[in-house]
Structure 1
Amino acid sequence: MINLRSTPIPFFLLLFLCFRQIAFAQEPTSNAKIIAQYDSVRTVAPREKIYVHLDKAIFAPQDTLWFKAYLVDATTNVFSKVSGLIYFDMFDANGTLIETICVPTAMGVAWGGIALKPDAYKAGSYTFRAYTNWMQNFGDAYIFKKEIKILDFIKDENVYQLDKKPLPTPRKISARTIEKSKDIDIQFLPEGGNWKADRMQKMAFKAVNYAGKGIEVTGEIFDSKQNKILDFKSNNKGMGYFMMVPILNEAYTATINSTEITKTQNLPKLASSGAFLQVNNSYGSDGLAINVDSDLPEQEITMIGQSKGVACFTAKFISGKKYKTVYVPKSLFPRGICQILLMDGKNRVLNERNFFINRSQDLIIQPSTSTSVYGLRDSICVNIQASDFEKKPISGTFSVAVTDDNQIQKDSLNDNNILSHLLLASDLKGEIESPGYYFNHFDEQKHNDLEALVLTQGWIKYNWELDKRPLFKAEKEFTISGRVTNITNKPAINGQILLLGMKKPISIMETRTDSNGVFIFRDFPVLDSAAFVVQAKNAKGKVGTLGIELNEFQSAPFLMTAKNNLTNYEETLDSISKQFIAAKNEEYEASFKSGIILREVKITGKKTIKGSKNLNGDGNADITLTEKDLDKVAKKTLGDVLKENIKGLHESVKPKTGFQLYKVNGSIFKMIIDGVEVDYFFTNFDPTSKTEYLQFIKSYFDYYNAEDIKGIEIMTSGKNVNNYIKQYEDPFTVETYVFVEVTTRTGSGPFLRKSSNMFKYNPPAYGDNKEFYSPKYTDQNKGNKKPDYRSTIYWNPHILTNEKGIANFSFFSADKKGFYTVWIEGSDMNGNFGMKALKLEVK
């Protein structure tokens, strides 16, 4: 047996000694080659991890979801230098993408909010995701996901209530289906992947119920003669393991018992030959005892200890020799999920064994208050002292969510947090129940439960084919880029590219294409719901026959999770959700009774156009032509429809200039198509021509037929015109205008076939300037009658501790008595992170 104990020996010398003692005179260069390959993979395909702290997971209609993201290097947990942008998606229960926003990072952190607008976010379940474009190269495993719920309310006399619509009539469920729902799925997984006869070996198991959740079981193991070999018992998450020495040519069965069912299942078949691997990861021990047993025909076997894409040690030996035990110090491995692999001479994995290395390296976060009990609308100040695991003060970035326990349930002992995600959940496949449990007061029981978890759950591999080219680029900043070609599909060299922002104030950027016809725009300010028009001209400034290919962002594919079809017809609310609804009811009832909010005024008879970009809101126009109206005149041109419905629309001449245009009586006619003013696309090729603009507008009149259009809204009165003047014209103009908003069926905007040199681009909203509103109560306003039943009492994503590790924040309590949870987590973004929860009482 070889003993490699933890000593001050330098790391690479230790690797060399390991190799020399185990490899039986192999050349050290082969060992270095393995290490070099691992390093190359991390260089070519570095991994990123992301954790997102949300203020809560259940919401009311019109709430805002607040978040802070921590983006780190997957190997070191230091802030990632690969990406500078993070994408945040919201998907509904059907897998439909509702919204994507893009937020820049600074030293790996980013924060913002998503307004849950009722027209886009109906009551139901949603999946919140966060990832970088670079992460898409490695599949779905690295994407951060969190299920959230928007609870179902109806508004009646300005009071929000639990929706009392009758539930759908439950389907008639067969007795066979009900019986099936009681079934248990249990897997028996021998350590290392192979079950070796005549060796003491660990057998792990995991039992789940019909809904895929862990279920506590007990059981017995019997041989073929029904002799009981041993008893076993799972933990409360359905996982566990037992030790036994199986006998060759014997068959074993397990009898499994739960509260509802007893079943029998065969254990895996025994293997008489092959390579076998055992890892003794004892609690409190500073080393691993690795047992290797191989009777394969004489060949070279490679053992690799790895973690997160780093080769921590390697060793080689010749198979067919005697049973071997290797002692390796745990100090060779970083904290978190690690693996021992056995590989044959062709680099095929023979066995793999997961294990978890835990060390007390969390940041120590110590929040304190002057008292633990406060009154209603009281000022609460929280002081934070942050230090590293050696109790040295540390500068770090932290996020804080304070929530009302009456409405939001947070379990600081079991819920996922920055520790459990970055150290555990992000490196294992599948769902982990109560991930925070494993990091709360770590002891031998939690160590054993972690052993059961990693023995039964697959790990996310970091391997990568070095000749494989990543499909998705690492984005350092927000850019708009593309390629311009001419009619023969050759690159348009030195072409003039204009980028027009579609929001006030109108922004214009200009660049040139390179020798490949490629262009790029950089250095964007924060943009919210931005839209752009990209226009290309050739080197002489002419439109010519150019085409634009834009590099548009594509959201990562969304993988639907199969649901239990026995219960998905009915959504059951837990007690906390019901309290959340009750609090909203109480808030709106109190507001109504105090006269603070007005009784709902119902406006009937308004015509609305689905998908309209009307700046005045749905149905606010002087004349509205709906799809039904337009179907009656389907073959008429847009120009004919407008002339028939706008009295006074005519061709006119602008005084002093002689330029021709359209007017409605004395007001200038302006047309908006799908939220884009057509004037953006007018190019005055002949400054002496008086009719060019008029002909330009006519081209749109003639291009569209009524059947191409979903609706037309005509703004003539001051109240409906004002918002359009602010958006598209000089607000101090003395001119008067009539605006026409046209909504097409395609929604593609005012792009004619002959205008292929133009491209409308709607990127994800870039950046976010939303701030959480936290009321401040003074002697003057503390007694106002407006009820305050916030569920999120306070949210702050950007708390920085100074060089002494100190920071503080303050907020005011609301109007409900009970307890608050103050949830703090964060990182120094240099590889260390921590979490702490504090309870406060409000009387």
Structure 2
Amino acid sequence: MTKHSRFLLSLILFFISLSGQAQQINYKEMVQYDSVRKAAPREKLYMQLDKPVYAMGDTIWFKGYLINASLLNYSTTSALIYVDMIDKKGQVVQTVSLPTQYGLTWAGLAIDPNKYEAGTYTFRAYTNWMQNFGDTFLFKKEIQILDIAPTQPTGPSTATAKTQNAKSNAPNSSKKPLIDLQFLPEGGTWIAERQQKLAFKALNINGKGTIVEGDILDSKQQKVATFKSNSMGMGYFDFTPKTGEIYVANYKSAIGNGSQPLPKTQPNGITLRLNNNLNGDSIGISILSDLPNQELTILGQSRGVLCFLAKIKPNSTYKIVRVPKNIFPTGVCQILVQNEQQQTLNERNFFINHHDELKVQMTATNQSFTVRDSIPIHLKITDQSGKPIAGSFSLAVTDDGQVKKDSLNDQNILNYLLLSSDLKGEIENPGHYFNVSNAQQQEELEALMLTQGWVSYQWDLNKKPTFKAESEFTVSGKVTNITNKPIAKGKITLLSTRKGFMVMDTVTNDKGEFVFRNFPAMDSLSFLIQALNAKGNRGTLGIEMNEFKRPAIALAAPIVPLTAMPETPDSASKQMITSQRQASTYRGGGIGLREVKITGKKVVKSSKNLNGPGEADQTFSEADLEKLNKKTLLNVLEENVKGFRMGFKRRTNIKEFMVNFALVKLVIDGVDVDFFYSPSDWPITDAHYQHLKYYLDYYTAEDVQGIEIMKHARNAGRYRMQFLNPMDDTEYAFIEITTKTGSGPFLKKAANMYIYKPLPYGDNKIFYSPKYTVANKTNKTPDLRSTLYWMPNIVTDKNGEANAHFFASDRKGTYTAWLEGTDTEGNFGFKAIKITVK
């Protein structure tokens, strides 16, 4: 029996035991809870990255764990994960989609200097189904990308910048307070004349917790209570507010002092108090109510699963309920108080830890190693009872001198899935709540639950999900005629545009809908989709594709000017920059420099130019095109490219676009638009001319990132090899168009053909780890890797054991070996060890 099966069974038994104690159980409510869980199953997604900081040209290695949020076993709802890289302006730089098996996936994202700039990025991951439940459920992690290319100082001097920053940070009465201090009563209501816990949290201007302490003063300026936060700016204290009294908190901290009004009290209502002692085997729930003639319901839940339910009769002013902890699973739990209309009047979050995570032993054979040594690692995984566990684990080994990792406080699979994912806002040092178990930690957990607790598993059963669950990668759409009537039994053909053509066909259903399935892993692929009616004719058909829609990106407004918060690399990041610069000076070793600066040549960002950045006969940058705004691409070329014209093919009256006497070959985002050209679709003499004109009229200057013209042999040569038959001796001029979306020549609904470019699907990148032997151990090329080893899928055997090994680099010091994983049945494990290289 799996752990989640035992969990559900224990709930059923507890319902029965309550019934035996004459508690009134509403089984309809129990069934409704279960219906919500089944109708709208929540998913959680955790991503392990090899490190939090990267150098330009590096690769972001990651593994995803997609689970059912209620039972924590692998999700059967979705099998396709999306990953976005979002810059600090809120622009998506790159998106990939990845298939999963048993909720697992792994890949690598190369940090292409033509796409990325140095700075802070958000690594965001999610499924399409997750979008139904809001942004909070998406996995997000902030990472840094460092530029290792030497740069020349620009702008104001360091001294001037420091002065400006100092002015920006200087206290100013016209600015917002330096500290955001919030007070939150336990249970959500603040009732006069009743003793309650009052929680508080203080944030600085960067949104981080900051230490505060102070006094609570009444309207007569008399001190009635004191408070002091922990190191993360949180705490709570007991307090009994008086009727009609107004209270103010005067506080002080290292970054500023101030005052904050306390919430206003209510004259009556319900107070909810919870006692969750560290060493107790049960929790105590106290309800005090002065609402007349109201039957109340107490519900205990965790992850959307109802754990217990009890009724309080009308006009019962005080009620204490004790509930055993073992009916709740490890994780964030919640007590709700509802009225007869099932409206929630009070709620209180708390945390239960049964310490039932996987037990991970990870050892290296020696206490220390030398540079370029082979370092073996042995794993043994068991459950809480010592039973061997077969599972999938991911291992990252990083150089402490270049990458900062804190195994005691940083995020890992345990604290994210069991804690952070059910809380609102940023959880600072989430590992802190798991690395020890004592009274102080319990108090800090209580403060966290009182201030940032958030559980939202409610769902209106009458509401239909907007976003579908995706069990696999598909290409789908709908075929209609000119009057928008769906075409049934239409014949749909899909052609891939890569070498080694793939052809698939299907027919539409009665609603005109079609879908293609069972795709292999693909990257940078586009499709030509053609629709014919049931008789095999083109008719007046049009195709509407189901395009992927990514979640909206919410950016927090900056609290202070950006110049006041310079991104200064820490010592480890500085060492990474130094090491990677040193490695890049050796051809074939380490990480290459960000890019070669081409003096006097314009470079189009994200261009697919086969010759390399800036290598063209004529280039129009984004800045050039911004001046031309709404002009069509055809107008831009006619007015700005010398020799661009409409001409006639030699010795014919067939129209063609030309640059001087060379025929135009149009390439958009690296895709030759002639791939989609079929003379039968243009029953006129000037078919090819009209085909190109269709694209040139479709795009405007504001759609385009850059234009590059290749007409002379030195620049056109690679294009001839890529796009032409070797026997074709016709003279061509190649025009490379780079669009802002990077999605290629993929137009909207157009006749019976549609050119569709899905997100890159799948990834076959494999982490390269050098192997040193007697023959190459003395190679002088420096090995200064920041990530020494990445293995995304270490599978333990029936004995719960597995082995891995890697080679040390040339840097002496310590490495951190960081392991995370699951048995896919709701059990997770984490372990980090240090390895010394002398």
Q: Same fold (TM over 0.5)?
A: yes
Cα drift, residue 228 of structure 1? 4.7
For residues 667-712 of structure 1, give each alpha carbon's deviation from its aligned partner in whole angstroms, at most 9, with x where no partner exists: 99855455433443343549xxxx9696321324665479968646
Q: Does 1:473 align with 2:464?
A: no
Q: Which residue of 1 aligns with 2:387?
A: 392
Residues 584 and 590, structure 2, Cα contact 8 Å, conserved in 1 = no
Distance 2:640 2:786 in 1: 51
Read off the aligned partner of 1:237 and give its amino acid letter. Answer: M
Q: By how many angstroms is 1:318 displaced? A: 1.9
Per the alignment, in what secondary structure is the counterpart of residue 649 of structure 2?
Answer: strand
The corresponding residue for 1:650 is 649
Deviation at 1:719, TM superposition (A): 7.9
After alignment, is 774-783 or 640-649 more displaced? 640-649
Pairing partner for 2:333 from 338, 355, 358 = 338
Taking structure 1 as the reference length, the TM-score comes to 0.88
CA displacement 1:26-70 (0-9 Å, x = unmatched): 5x4xx1111111111111111000010001111111111111010
2:116 pairs with 1:121: yes
Report deviation, 1:287: 0.5
Aligned to 1:656: none
User: Within 5 A, what are the aligned runs for 1:125-164?
Assistant: 125-155=120-150
Deviation, structure 1 residue 572: 2.4
Moved more, 304-313 or 593-602: 593-602
Pairing partner for 2:368 from 351, 370, 373: 373
Instruction: Tell me what 1:18 maps to.
Output: 18
Residue 581 of structure 1 corresponds to: 577
- 1:456-471 alignment to 2 at 5 Å? 456-471=451-466
Structure 2 residue aligned with 1:742, among 735, 742, 745? 735
Q: How does 1:46-85 map to 2 (within 5 A)?
A: 46-85=41-80
The separation in 1 between residues aligned to 2:195 and 2:64, in whole angstroms, is 46
The residue that corresponds to 2:3 in the other structure is none
Deviations 1:243-266 (A, max 9, x none): 344454555544433235444444
Residue 296 in structure 1 maps to residue 287 in structure 2: no
1:121-160 Cα shifts (integer Å, max 9, x gaps) = 101111110000000000101000011111234337xxxx
Letter in 1 for 2:572: I
1:373-431 per-residue CA deviation (whole Å, 9 max, x = no partner) reads: 11111110101111111111101111111111111000000001101100011001111
* Offset from partner CA, 1:327-350 (integer Å, 9 cap, x none): 111111111111111111111111
Cα distance in 1 between the residues matched to 2:812 and 2:350:
45
Residue range with higher mean Cα deviation, 320-329 or 198-207: 198-207
Contact 2:179 2:202 in 1 (8 A): yes
- What is the distance in 2 between the residues matched to 1:736 and 1:574? 58
Matched with 1:3 is: none
Q: Structure 1 regions of 5+ residues with no counterpart?
A: 1-5, 654-658
> Which structure has the larger Rg over C-alpha atoms?
1
**What is the Cα deviation at residue 187 of structure 1?**
2.2
The answer for the alignment partner of 2:687 in structure 1 is 696
Aligned to 1:823: 818
Counterpart for residue 96 of structure 1: 91
How far does residue 357 in structure 1 lie from its aligned partner after superposition?
0.7
Retained in 2: the 8 A contact 1:667–1:735? no
More moved, 671-680 vs 188-197? 671-680
Distance 2:340 2:536 in 1: 63
RMSD over aligned Cα, in angstroms?
3.9
Tell me if structure 2 keeps the 8 A contact 1:38–1:311.
yes
- 1:348-747 paired onto structure 2 within 5 Å: 348-565=343-560, 568-569=563-564, 570-588=566-584, 591=586, 612-620=607-615, 623-624=617-618, 644=643, 650-651=649-650, 671-683=666-678, 685=680, 695-700=686-691, 704=696, 711=707, 713-714=709-710, 717=713, 720-722=716-718, 724-726=720-722, 728=723, 734-736=727-729, 738-743=731-736
Tell me which amino acid in the other structure corresponds to 2:93: I
Instruction: Label 1:84 to 1:541 Cα distance change in 2 as closer, same or farther (>3 A).
Output: same
Instruction: Give 3-state SS (helix, strand or coil) of 2:149's partner.
Output: strand
Question: Cα offset for 1:736?
Answer: 3.9
What CA distance in whole angstroms lies between the structure 1 residues aligned with 2:784 and 2:755?
43
Describe the superposition over 1:265-310 as per-residue Cα deviations: whole angstroms up to 9, x where unpaired: 4443443421111111111111011111111111211111111111
Shift of 1:606: 5.3
| Kept after mapping to 2: 8 A contact 1:222/1:252 | yes
Task: Choose which of 23, 28, 33 in structure 2 pairs with 1:38.
Answer: 33
AA partner of residue 90 (structure 2): G
- Residues 750/789 of structure 1: CA separation in 2 closer, same or farther (3 Å cut): closer
Instruction: Letter of the 2:784 partner, please give it.
Output: Y
Alpha-carbon offset, residue 639 of structure 1: 9.9
Task: In structure 2, give the amino acid aligned to 1:586.
Answer: Q
1:283–1:601: structure 2 CA closer, same or farther, 3 Å change rule?
A: closer
* Distance (whole Å) between structure 1 residues aligned to residue 89 and residue 215 of structure 2: 42
The answer (yes or no) to whether the contact 1:478–1:523 under 8 Å persists in 2 is yes
Deviation at 1:503, TM superposition (A): 1.8
Aligned pair partner of 2:794 in 772, 792, 799: 799
Q: Which amino acid aligns with 1:65?
A: I
Alignment of 1:210-359 (within 5 A): 210-222=205-217, 228-248=223-243, 251-359=246-354
Query: Structure 1 residues 398, 347: CA separation in 2 closer, same or farther (over 3 Å shift)?
Result: same
**Residues 256 and 118 (structure 1), Cα distance of their counterparts in 2 relative to 1, 3 Å cut:** same
Moved more, 487-496 or 405-414: 487-496
- Secondary structure at the aligned position of 1:192 is classed as helix
CA distance in 2, matches of 1:750, 1:253: 62
Q: Rate the CA distance shift 1:600–1:32 in 2: closer, same or farther, 3 A.
A: closer
- Contact kept in structure 1, 2:716 and 2:734, CA below 8 Å: no
The alignment's TM-score, normalised by the length of structure 2, stands at 0.88
Match runs of 1:774-813 below 5 Å:
774-813=769-808
Question: Contact 2:80 / 2:472 at 8 angstroms: preserved in 1?
Answer: yes
Partners of 2:285 and 2:18 lie apart in 1 by: 13
Q: 1-side partners of 2:678 and 2:529: how far apart?
A: 14
Size of the alignment, in residue pairs?
815
SS at match of 1:766: coil
Q: d(CA) in 1 for partners of 2:593 and 2:303?
A: 58
Range moving further from structure 2, 174-183 or 546-555: 174-183
Equivalent pair of 2:119/2:145 in contact (CA under 8 Å):
yes
3-state SS of the aligned residue for 2:443? helix
Judging changes above 3 Å, is the alpha-carbon distance between structure 1 residues 292 and 782 closer, same or farther for their aligned structure 2 residues? same
- In the alignment, what sits opposite 2:829? 834
Partners of 1:188 and 1:751 in 2: how far apart?
53
Q: 1:669 to 1:254 in 2, by over 3 A?
A: closer
Task: Give the letter for the 2:251 counterpart.
Answer: I
Partner of 2:172, secondary structure, is helix
- CA distance in structure 1 between the aligned counterparts of 2:693 and 2:379, rounded to whole angstroms: 67
